[in-house]
Amino acid sequence: MNLNKLRDEIHENAVKHGFWEGERSIAECLALIHSGVSEALEADRKGQYANGNIKPETIDWMTKTWEKSTFMENFILKVKDTFEDELADVVIRCLDLCGHLSFSVNDRFSDLILEYTDNEMKGLTIPERLFVIHSVISKRGEWDENLYIIEIVATVFQIARVSNIDIEKHIDLKMKYNSTRPYKHGKKY
């Protein structure tokens, strides 16, 4: 996956939808990333998962099709607001911020040493895994801002990997859905 290309596509869509009109602080962006992590926690608490609710071949089909009404119907019924969907949203928000700040993601992704190994991450509960993301977000200012935002992305990828979630497909589905949404997705910011 070319994360810089994905970053550019995500940021372009966010700009088209008005998210970068006027002033927008890094703190606001990080608060929205925290919100996405909390939404993933709520999805887990409610048992809202796409895996098990939708066949892998349907996800494959949804990533390839663009018959809007069929896609939207399937996305809203089977994917929207699930744990996987919210994790994808966290990555999208991070990559949008990287796009706004012109941070290169690919160059730094391999530099990361994550706090937990995959085996250690597997031993954590979902709330504990999500707390790791909150902790990474809260590190702001401790080191290179570029690297820490990318660490959030890498941590989500790690959680997806140990949870058997194809995060790339869920990012693709969420981006497709987001492209159909109204200005600022109908929200204030």
pTM of this prediction?
A: 0.90
Spatial separation of the C-alpha atoms in residues 99 and 122, rounded to whole Å: 31
Extract long-range pairs of 184-188: CB within 8 Å, 24+ residues apart.
Answer: 184/17, 184/18, 184/19, 185/17
For the beta carbon of residue 174, count every other beta carbon within 10 angstroms.
Answer: 22
pLDDT digits (tens, 9 = 90+) for 110-144: 767 788 899 999 999 999 999 999 998 887 665 56
Helix, strand and coil in the chain, % to nearest 5: 70, 0, 30
- CA pair distance 43, 69, nearest whole angstrom: 25
pLDDT at 56: 67
Mean pLDDT is lowest, of 7-16, 50-59, 102-111, for 50-59
Q: Where do the domains of the chain lie?
A: 3-183
